[in-house]
Structure 1
Amino acid sequence: MIILYVVSTLKRCGPTNQLFGLIKNLDRSRFTPVVLTLSPEPSESRWDDFVALGIDVQSLRLGRVAGVLMGGRALRARLAVIKPVLIHSQGIRADSLCVWAVPPSVVHVATLRNYPFKDYVMSFGRVQGGLMARWHLFNLRRVHAVALVSNAIYGMLDGRLEQARVIQNGVDVDRYYKVDSAGRDALRNRLGLPLHARLFVSTGHLDPRKDPVTAIDGFLAAARQSDQFLVLGDGTMREELKSRYRQSGQVRFLGRVANVQEYLQASDYFISASLAEGLPNAVLEALACGLPCLLSDIAEHREILAGSSLQHMLFATGQAAALAECLAGLNDEAYEQARGVASAIVANSFSAAHMSAQYQELYAELQS
């Protein structure tokens, strides 16, 4: 069965990492994956990683305007050559283009990684974001099956996508895993990090939706003198944040890095004050590396920690004082136990292999 995966680009980010984990764990005796991107690749791309897996990776190399004008015709021409039995798209551009360009005889699966009426409005404003959300859901209703990455999104949609089912995100545990104390110290030496400090870390885009101000203010309010907060990632708020906290020697803005997993493995705790997520890759990756996570009390975070002894590390969303209280209550004596619980959460429920197996069951079901 040839499966064509259609995405905007293979930019190094959460959705691309999820796609990589899905394809890496495909049963190649049953499925032959082909990846098609719509636009030219950005500088931070995982294209070569997919090629290294032996995947046929192609691109239409169309900008956004050209994609609107010529995308449908270009995609149909490529379909005539590839001849996929099933198409799997992700993202509003890819989903919408495939809905209008793919013949009804070809099975179409889409993955929805956010709640559009919250995520798009926060990112693009009430008017533009609301229109985008309605357009995306309008198109998704024409897809054979929609995979939602969390139960939280399923609940928010409240039945507006009848063909939706939940397939939770998963982590590539071959890349993200817990190291022992000797491995951690070796990483700290190589990365230029202090050996004996408690290191807190956050990863991801620096924008209002992630609420980095609450994360940093909460950390500073309760941090020990030797604690450090490593802020990885870039975004619209980076320069503002660097200026705002320039007097603090405990907060380090490291920008985008290609070796996120090494910084996670070298750290002690992870912090996310995010206001909205799908099922956050950053949190799952941190847990896989054995980091207890201090998380804002949103539905998506509660879903990850549900039933575990780490639920007490949730703090009131948008409340720096609540995060500070949570941080002040960390128990050094129970730390190793917490590390074990963190990595077990991913191993038991959120591995990429488990996620991929569920998608393969869906593919087979739609073809039966």
Structure 2
Amino acid sequence: MKIVYVISNLKKCGPVFVLYDLVKELSKKKGLDIYIITLSSETSLSMVDDFKYLGVKIFSLDNISRFNFYKYHKKVKEVLVSIRPDLLHAFCFRSTLLISSIKYVEKYVTVHNYFNSDFKYRHGKLLGFVMERLFLSSIKNYNKVICVSYSLKEYLDEKYSLTNTFAVYNSVERYTTKTNIIDHSGEITFIMVDELTELKNNEFAIQSFVNVFGKQHRYRLKIYGVGKDFIELKNKYNKYSNIAFMGFVEDKEEIFNNAHYYISASRTESFHLSFVEALVNNIYCIVSEIPIHNEIKQLYVNSCETFDLRENDGLINPLKKIKNKNNLEIDNTNFFKCEEMANRYLSLYSQ
């Protein structure tokens, strides 16, 4: 079977990590030839060499203007004629639109987000609405629409009356070897690992931390990530020496190895990679009560609790409880292994 994945580029980010884990496992299977078509030039954070090491054949269309949809479509068809694939798989917004009209080949698409709300948060109501309608009309042309969580699948089915959706969890690795016992006798480190944007509602979480712990050095908050709110938030909270804005950090072991608690006040998520990574790496999570958090919480009942975003003190109350805790034992299972994700994809490809 020849499988062609189409994605904007291979810059290190959530969907690319997922694609890498998927391709890494599928490349071990006999009878599979894997190709990737990228649409934009790579950056210094590209994983292109990692993919090439797996033996994947990569076609880059980075010499085309990103607004020249006609030329992109023509070039992709030329590449596909030379490959003669059995299956096409779109892995981002642009690729979903680009190959939706291609016929005579099985087409799959992975949906990584609640695209209606996500597009509007990121691009404004007007452009977000246009993007939503384009994306929706495109995925209706695919044989299978793969959602990264069951709650996302249920939402899309109900809102858009889709009948060709399936749920496959993303994979997550364990980066640390630390114990699953949280010791409260010393310094306690909280982490936030997300974009610093309105969608992630970061200030709600930061302010809740400040309201409970103030400038107490025993309780520290490390904020990993960048985004349009980075400078504003960093300047606003620079007087708190126990709050550190770490920016983008590539080393996952550095992020998770010394952390005790993960907090997030995100308004919407489809899978929420950093949240699941925290759980798998033996960190207790206190997160907003949204569908995906509730869904994953059922797997990690001893490692996670949620709070109501509509309540001003929703996050404050669970944070206060931490002051009175002794040792805390949490779940120590990885429900999101690469092999399981790849086998689930392969099963859908073979149906």
> TM-score over 0.5 for the alignment?
yes
Distance in 1 (CA, whole Å) between partners of 2:77 and 2:217 is 60
Aligned residue in 2 for 1:333: 326
Provide TM-score, normalisation by structure 1.
0.87
Matched position secondary structure for 1:322: coil
Q: CA deviation at 1:160?
A: 2.5
* Aligned pair partner of 1:356 in 319, 325, 342: 342
Q: Which of 265-274 and 230-239 deviates more? A: 265-274
Distance in 2 (CA, whole Å) between partners of 1:106 and 1:167 is 22
Aligned residue in 2 for 1:261: 253
- Residues 100 and 142 of structure 2 are in contact (CA less than 8 Å); yes or no, is this contact kept in structure 1? yes
- Residues 197 and 227 of structure 1 are in contact (CA less than 8 Å); yes or no, is this contact kept in structure 2? yes
Q: CA deviation at 1:363?
A: 0.7
Aligned residue in 2 for 1:138: 137
Aligned residue in 1 for 2:189: 199
Q: CA deviation at 1:235?
A: 0.6
- Gap change, CA 1:257 and 1:353, over 3 Å in 2: same
Aligned residue in 1 for 2:128: 129
- Gap change, CA 1:318 and 1:205, over 3 Å in 2: farther
> How do 1:9-48 and structure 2 match up within 5 A?
9-26=9-26, 27-48=28-49
> What are the superposed Cα offsets for residues 135-176 of structure 1, whole Å, 9 maximum, x if unpaired?
101010000111011122122221532111111222134xx3
Q: CA deviation at 1:95?
A: 0.7
Q: CA deviation at 1:63?
A: 5.2
Distance in 2 (CA, whole Å) between partners of 1:268 and 1:242 is 22
Identity %: 27
Aligned residue in 1 for 2:283: 291
- Residues 179 and 282 of structure 2 are in contact (CA less than 8 Å); yes or no, is this contact kept in structure 1? no
Distance in 1 (CA, whole Å) between partners of 2:75 and 2:120 is 31
- Residues 116 and 133 of structure 1 are in contact (CA less than 8 Å); yes or no, is this contact kept in structure 2? yes
Q: CA deviation at 1:207?
A: 0.6
Aligned residue in 2 for 1:190: none
Counterpart amino acid of residue 119 in structure 2: Y
Q: CA deviation at 1:180?
A: 4.2
| Structure 2 unaligned residues grouped into runs of 5+ | none
Distance in 2 (CA, whole Å) between partners of 1:272 and 1:285 is 13
* Aligned pair partner of 1:231 in 209, 213, 223: 223
Q: Which of 235-244 and 112-121 deviates more? A: 112-121
Matched position secondary structure for 2:169: coil
- Residues 276 and 298 of structure 1 are in contact (CA less than 8 Å); yes or no, is this contact kept in structure 2? yes
Q: CA deviation at 1:177?
A: 4.2
- Gap change, CA 1:117 and 1:170, over 3 Å in 2: same
> What are the superposed Cα offsets for residues 287-319 of structure 1, whole Å, 9 maximum, x if unpaired?
111111111111111111125424762111265
1:251 and 2:243 equivalent?
yes
- Residues 40 and 63 of structure 1 are in contact (CA less than 8 Å); yes or no, is this contact kept in structure 2? no
- Residues 178 and 288 of structure 1 are in contact (CA less than 8 Å); yes or no, is this contact kept in structure 2? no
Aligned residue in 2 for 1:278: 270
Matched position secondary structure for 2:326: helix
Deviation beyond 6 Å, 4+ runs, structure 1:
none
Q: CA deviation at 1:215?
A: 1.2
Distance in 1 (CA, whole Å) between partners of 2:161 and 2:303 is 30
> How do 1:61-80 and structure 2 match up within 5 A?
61-62=62-63, 65-80=66-81
> How do 1:116-195 and structure 2 match up within 5 A?
116-157=115-156, 158=158, 160-173=161-174, 176-180=175-179
Q: Which of 45-54 and 112-121 deviates more? A: 45-54
Counterpart amino acid of residue 162 in structure 1: T
Q: CA deviation at 1:221?
A: 1.7
- Residues 170 and 284 of structure 1 are in contact (CA less than 8 Å); yes or no, is this contact kept in structure 2? no
Aligned residue in 2 for 1:191: none
Q: CA deviation at 1:73?
A: 0.7
- Residues 285 and 304 of structure 2 are in contact (CA less than 8 Å); yes or no, is this contact kept in structure 1? no
Counterpart amino acid of residue 342 in structure 2: S
Q: CA deviation at 1:265?
A: 1.6
> What are the superposed Cα offsets for residues 168-195 of structure 1, whole Å, 9 maximum, x if unpaired?
222134xx344249xx9xxxxxxxxxx9
- Gap change, CA 1:124 and 1:269, over 3 Å in 2: same
Q: Which of 56-65 and 220-229 deviates more? A: 56-65
Aligned residue in 2 for 1:84: 85
Matched position secondary structure for 1:241: helix
- Gap change, CA 1:64 and 1:264, over 3 Å in 2: farther
Distance in 2 (CA, whole Å) between partners of 1:165 and 1:308 is 23
Counterpart amino acid of residue 337 in structure 2: S
Distance in 1 (CA, whole Å) between partners of 2:68 and 2:19 is 22
